[in-house]
Structure 1
Amino acid sequence: MGAVSIPPTEAARSIFTDLGYTVSGSGREFSAERKWRVVAVTAADESTELPESGDLRCFVARTDTAHDLRERLLATKPDYDWAVIGVDGAGDYEVLHPSLGPALVA
């Protein structure tokens, strides 16, 4: 039997749920809420149009495109706090922040 590939959206839902967030919504965009924080989560790839506004945003992409997405966000300099989660097919992930780069790996 071959390896099972977990879609980025499913992996993101699992990650945020494991971190204690309440996840709501469906499809490529959903919200993750905990305490006072509401994070807009978007499953993204190289063709995803980046939002122009927001507060807290997290983009979830396959590991092979996550670094390019981070570079796009850095070049665009959006007016919101953001992070990129790069997920592989097994559900392992790394979190890419604007200033820290690939600092957190799970």
Structure 2
Amino acid sequence: MATVTMPPSEEARTVFKRLGYAIDEEEMQFIAERKWRRVLVTPMCESDVESPERLLEGEDTTDYPRLRCFVTWKQSAETLLTYLRSAKPPYDWAIIGVDRDGDFEVVYPHSWA
């Protein structure tokens, strides 16, 4: 299925714009800002979610914002949630599941957006 093989980059941008965040970068991974929040947003396709350690291990997080949000397709969100809970990364994080129709769901934490 084509939707899961590509990271939901445009969908991630749309979600954060709808939530009132300013977005400057045109890279796949981007910073979203609103009020006091600076969030590093990382879109992830299904294959990224199946092996997230290759994307997340060894990261130097000193230059990143304290808040991270991983945006993936809805059907992959629970797999990513399981991984991040066990990995316990050294930053605050959230997961948003999206679909092609523009619908999204904050999977974790439920009240963070």
Q: TM-score, normalization: structure 1?
A: 0.79
How many residue pairs match? The answer is 97
2:24 corresponding residue in structure 1: 24
- Deviations along 1:9-67, one digit per CA (max 9) or x if unpaired, are 11111111111110121232001001111000001132341246341000000111111
What SS does the corresponding residue of 2:102 show, helix, strand or coil?
A: coil
2:100 corresponding residue in structure 1: 89
2:82 corresponding residue in structure 1: 71
Structure 1 unmatched runs, 5+: none
State the percentage of identical aligned residues.
47
Moved over 6 A (4+): none
Relative to its length, the structure with more strand (as a share) is 1
Structure 2 unmatched runs, 5+: none
- 8 Å Cα contact 1:62-1:88 kept in structure 2: yes
1:12 corresponding residue in structure 2: 12
Aligned Cα RMSD in Å? Answer: 2.3
Relative to its length, the structure with more helix (as a share) is 2
Instruction: Say if 2:35 is the partner of 1:35.
Output: yes
